[in-house]
Structure 1
Amino acid sequence: MSKKRTTRSLDPFDRAILRIVQKDNKTPQRQIAEQVNLSAAAVQRRIAAMEKAGIIVANAAVVDVHAVQMGITAIVEVHLKDERLDTVDNAKMLFHDAPEVQQCYYVTGGISFMLIIVAADMTAYEDITRRLFAQNESVARYRSLIALDRVKAGSSIVIP
């Protein structure tokens, strides 16, 4: 399930472009070009090259969960019964393919996975937990933490 990793190195222009498009990927390329002192065509080529190299992995909108009636955000720690490759790979595939799972991390420290899940309400969330965890023989146990407030989401990473 790991994404393609690139060996392409980023120069200062690439890094400056990434800082801008992370804040707003709809920024016109001519405006980016002015900010980084390149031509619009050069910016376009660099963005296309970073997409091809897997540096830019998606152009997506961050949606307000309340606007789409997804009132429950849960942070879930999942403990698998074992860490065999087939068990882990099957869990990765299951979690990756579940549309309610917004983020999924395979982690160290005695926990197998950390997931961020959104649901319309607690009834829907219970259905999700039954399907992904309770009825899954590979899951030893799981623990849900229900978010009281979404303080920060969809943030960009710091590009040095």
Structure 2
Amino acid sequence: MTTRPVAPHLDDIDRTLLHLLQEDADRSHTVLAASVGLSAAGVHKRLKNLRQNGYVKKVTALLDRSKLGLDLMCFLKATFRSNLQPENLADLQRCIRELPEILECYTVTGTSDAILKVAVSDHVALRDFLRRLSASQQAIERVETCIVLEEFKEGTELPLGFVAGPV
């Protein structure tokens, strides 16, 4: 049985800093310091600790898909030939690295074995992507494509308000 390593506790200031970073990671340490009542050096030290302890995996920019011409968002429900066999997972992981249109991928319970989030420019690009996906791997037996018609919520912010007390 695998156990998770015990991480240091988060206090209210750490949770506030994580929340502020999720809203806008571009804020300076000085601005963050004013928001939490610490010095810029104190914020720097806390952020360094949060990164070292794995609470912040990476800081990145969120780009506007439509401005970049990636107007078609899809979710693909994939079914493997032999369920979740290790060779299928290795094949899927290799495939994901080779196809940049795949934004996210998860193995799941239920009638599908994996769900992939894919962004392409249009239906022709989707068709070409599906052909490349099929040709690039042997693990997936069937794919059901769900095209997003409307987005009601898109985000990456975790609900830190539900992280009660020391974590």
Instruction: Using the TM superposition, give the Cα deviation of residue 156 of structure 1 relative to its aligned residue in structure 2, in angstroms.
Output: 0.5
Q: 1:49 aligns to what SS in structure 2?
A: helix
- 1:120 maps to what in 2? 121
Structure 2 residue ranges without an equivalent (≥5): 162-167
Q: Does the CA contact (< 8 Å) of 1:6 and 1:53 recur in 2?
A: no
- Secondary structure at the residue paired with 1:118? strand
- Structural mapping, 1:136-155, within 5 Å: 136-155=137-156
- TM-score normalized by structure 2? 0.84
1:111 corresponds to:
112
Identity %: 24
| Residue number in structure 2 paired with 1:78 | 78
Deviation at 1:154, TM superposition (A): 2.7
Task: Give, in angstroms, the shift of residue 134 of structure 1.
Answer: 5.7
Normalised to the residue count of structure 1, the TM-score between the two structures is 0.88
Contact kept, 8 Å, 2:91 with 2:137, in 1: the verdict is no
| CA distance 1:5–1:74, change in 2 (3 Å) | farther
- The structure-2 alpha-carbon separation of the partners of 1:146 and 1:140, relative to structure 1 and needing over 3 Å to count, comes to same
Structure 2: how far apart are the matches of 1:5 and 1:131? 39
Bigger mean CA offset, 132-141 vs 54-63: 132-141
Q: Deviations over 1:81-137 (max 9, x none)?
A: 121112113213322442111111111123111111001111111111111136532
Please say if residues 102 and 115 of structure 1, whose CA atoms lie closer than 8 Å, have aligned partners that are also in contact. Answer: yes
How well do the aligned residues superpose, as a CA RMSD in angstroms?
Answer: 2.0
Letter in 1 for 2:91: N
Q: Which runs of 5+ in 1 are unaligned?
A: none
Contact 1:103 1:117 in 2 (8 A): yes
Find the residue that maps to 1:79 and give its secondary structure.
strand
Aligned residues: 157
Question: Aligned pair 1:129/2:134, yes or no?
Answer: no
> What code does the residue aligned with 1:95 have?
I
- 1:33-86 deviation digits (Å, cap 9, x = unpaired): 121122111111111222222211121111111100111110111111121112
Does the Cα contact within 8 Å between 2:92 and 2:137 map onto a contact in 1? no
